[in-house]
């Protein structure tokens, strides 16, 4: 195994030419006459830039050209460290950025970065349309590509002219492009929420109810700890250790009333830094329930815990993530609202007997028309955690007004709250029924 080192590349003499040379990332860069002050100054400059750029070469020798793939690699290495929260967790922005760069890589990865221009960006944008991304998402992804070239120009990987050329490409406007429009996120139907609560574990059910009553974001709900909750007054105040807008210097306070407090009480732990909702607790309860329903006597067959793997590939963790929380709700929706029989997944023959068909086999069997029918049915009967925030926003706006909803949800502008809170059209109809 090679020895890891943090030493700088050597300043050395090239025998054939007599010039000074330094090797950065496997490429020799000539510095001028060996031993001269100019060559040593050039060496110091290159090594300083190389270290500043994460030990990656940023200077280009005459006759060499930086490709777009090289820019992508350098930028993703920068973004991997940049898009992290204070506790070291990576934000969702990093994966969204990777998705934005994939069409660029597939079309222009080996092209010279300095030659990339507006027509190239429009071709990448067309590829995004072809994979059925919506208009707003395409505009945001193109902005991320422009941001990458801005960073590359700042670090002298490409000419600044490239970024300025890309700025001339305007975003798609509503109704004036081939990109589809996104559907608005609506509150989840209350009857569907109540049905899903019957098919999830107790911690997941508690998180769902906490979101309904407080309007907090999914990440804020799964990250609750006792040390972050001030219980000195009648209304508790939850200050998340990390939240969505912390990089803007904003502080987030979430107020917890009596209903939410009653849900939280069984989960308050003696360890103040432990997460309140834990998957390993849910797994323990599940195993205990299985053992309670056991019909085989303990003297026959396996005793509890004797047939578990010593090194399982997956084991329950000490906290839920937004992804695991979302998956739990998706599975519960599938159990609570199975599709019609003619659209349902079926079992097929496998190597070891019957198995459930894969998504690809399922889609092939149904055909395009029935597959779209299935998707439409699932959209009408499935919901996701972010919709619970819309439920809370709509209720708060209806009962207390837009300004109260803005404060509770932690928005800096009422215009943002408008996105979350569905307008109470029934109230408008009642008013116009009297005066209109």
The verdict on residue 374 lying in a domain is: no
Q: Kind and range of the H or E element at 385?
A: none
Same domain, 331 and 393: yes
The verdict on residue 356 lying in a domain is: no
Higher pLDDT, 48 or 161: 161
The verdict on residue 307 lying in a domain is: no
pLDDT of residue 62: 46
Same domain, 161 and 215: no
Same domain, 331 and 200: yes
End-to-end CA distance of the chain: 82
Tell me if residue 409 falls in helix, strand or coil. Answer: helix
Find all residues with CB under 8 Å of 151, minimum gap 6, and list them.
75, 78
For residue 230, give the CATH number of its domain.
Answer: 1.10.443.10
Mean pLDDT of 177-200: 91
pLDDT tens, position by position, 317-348: 788 999 999 999 999 999 999 999 999 999 88
Same domain, 282 and 211: yes
Could you tell me the residue range of the domain that residue 23 belongs to?
12-52
Same domain, 89 and 146: yes
What's the whole-model pTM score?
0.72
The verdict on residue 3 lying in a domain is: no
C-alpha distances (whole Å) from 33 to each of 20, 59, 116, 332 are 6, 19, 36, 72
The verdict on residue 297 lying in a domain is: no
Same domain, 149 and 223: no
Same domain, 16 and 42: yes
Same domain, 322 and 226: yes
User: Token digits for 376?
Assistant: 């439409």
Confidence class of residue 1 from pLDDT cuts 50, 70 and 90? very low
- Count of domains forming the chain: 3
Same domain, 76 and 39: no
The verdict on residue 82 lying in a domain is: yes
Mean pLDDT of 356-376: 92
Q: Using N-to-C axis directions, what is the helix angle for 402-409 and 386-400, rounded to 10°?
A: 140
The verdict on residue 359 lying in a domain is: no
Same domain, 150 and 213: no
For residue 159, give the CATH number of its domain.
Answer: 1.10.150
The verdict on residue 394 lying in a domain is: yes
The pLDDT of residue 276 is above 90: yes
Nearest to 275 by CA among 222, 321, 328, 231: 222
Q: Which residues pair with 112 in a beta bridge?
A: 67
The pLDDT of residue 262 is above 50: yes
pLDDT of residue 63: 47
């Amino acid at each position: 195994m090679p020895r890891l080192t943090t030493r700088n590349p050597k300043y050395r003499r090239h025998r054939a030419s007599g010039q000074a040379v330094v090797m950065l990332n496997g490429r020799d860069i000539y510095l001028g006459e060996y031993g001269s002050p100019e060559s040593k100054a050039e060496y110091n400059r290159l090594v300083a830039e190389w270290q500043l750029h994460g030990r990656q070469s940023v200077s280009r020798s005459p006759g060499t050209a930086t490709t777009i793939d090289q820019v992508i690699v350098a930028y993703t290495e920068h973004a991997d460290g940049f898009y992290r929260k204070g506790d070291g967790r990576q934000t969702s922005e990093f994966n969204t950025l990777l998705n934005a760069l994939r069409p660029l890589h597939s079309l222009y990865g080996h092209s010279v970065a300095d030659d990339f221009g507006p027509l190239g960006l429009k071709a990448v944008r067309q590829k995004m349309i072809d994979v059925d991304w919506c208009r707003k998402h395409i505009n945001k992804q193109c902005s991320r590509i422009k941001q990458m070239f801005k960073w590359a120009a700042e670090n002298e990987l490409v000419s600044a002219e490239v970024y300025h050329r890309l700025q001339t490409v305007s975003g798609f406007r509503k109704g004036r492009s081939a990109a589809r429009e996104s559907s608005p996120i609506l509150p989840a139907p209350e009857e569907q929420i109540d049905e899903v609560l019957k098919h999830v574990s107790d911690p997941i059910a508690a998180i769902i109810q906490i979101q309904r009553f407080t309007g907090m974001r999914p990440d804020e709900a799964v990250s609750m700890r006792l040390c972050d909750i001030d219980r000195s007054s009648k209304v508790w105040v939850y200050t998340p250790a990390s939240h969505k807008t912390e990089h803007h210097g904003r502080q987030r306070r979430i107020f917890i009333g009596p209903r939410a407090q009653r849900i939280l009480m069984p989960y308050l732990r003696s360890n103040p830094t432990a997460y309140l909702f834990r998957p390993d607790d849910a797994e323990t309860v599940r195993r205990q329930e299985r053992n309670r329903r056991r019909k085989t006597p303990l003297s026959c067959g396996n005793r509890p815990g004797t047939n578990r793997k010593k090194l399982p590939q997956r084991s329950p963790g000490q906290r839920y993530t937004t992804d695991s929380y979302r998956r739990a709700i998706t599975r519960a929706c599938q159990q609570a609202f199975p599709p019609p029989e003619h659209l349902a997944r079926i079992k097929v023959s496998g190597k070891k007997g019957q198995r459930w068909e894969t998504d690809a086999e399922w889609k092939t069997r149904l055909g395009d028309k029935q597959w779209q029918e299935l998707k439409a049915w699932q959209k009408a009967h499935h919901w996701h955690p972010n919709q619970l925030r819309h439920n809370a926003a709509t209720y708060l706006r209806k009962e207390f007004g837009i300004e109260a909803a803005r404060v509770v949800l932690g928005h800096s502008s009422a215009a943002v709250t408008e996105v979350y809170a569905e307008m109470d059209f029934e109230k408008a109809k009642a008013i116009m029924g009297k005066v209109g």
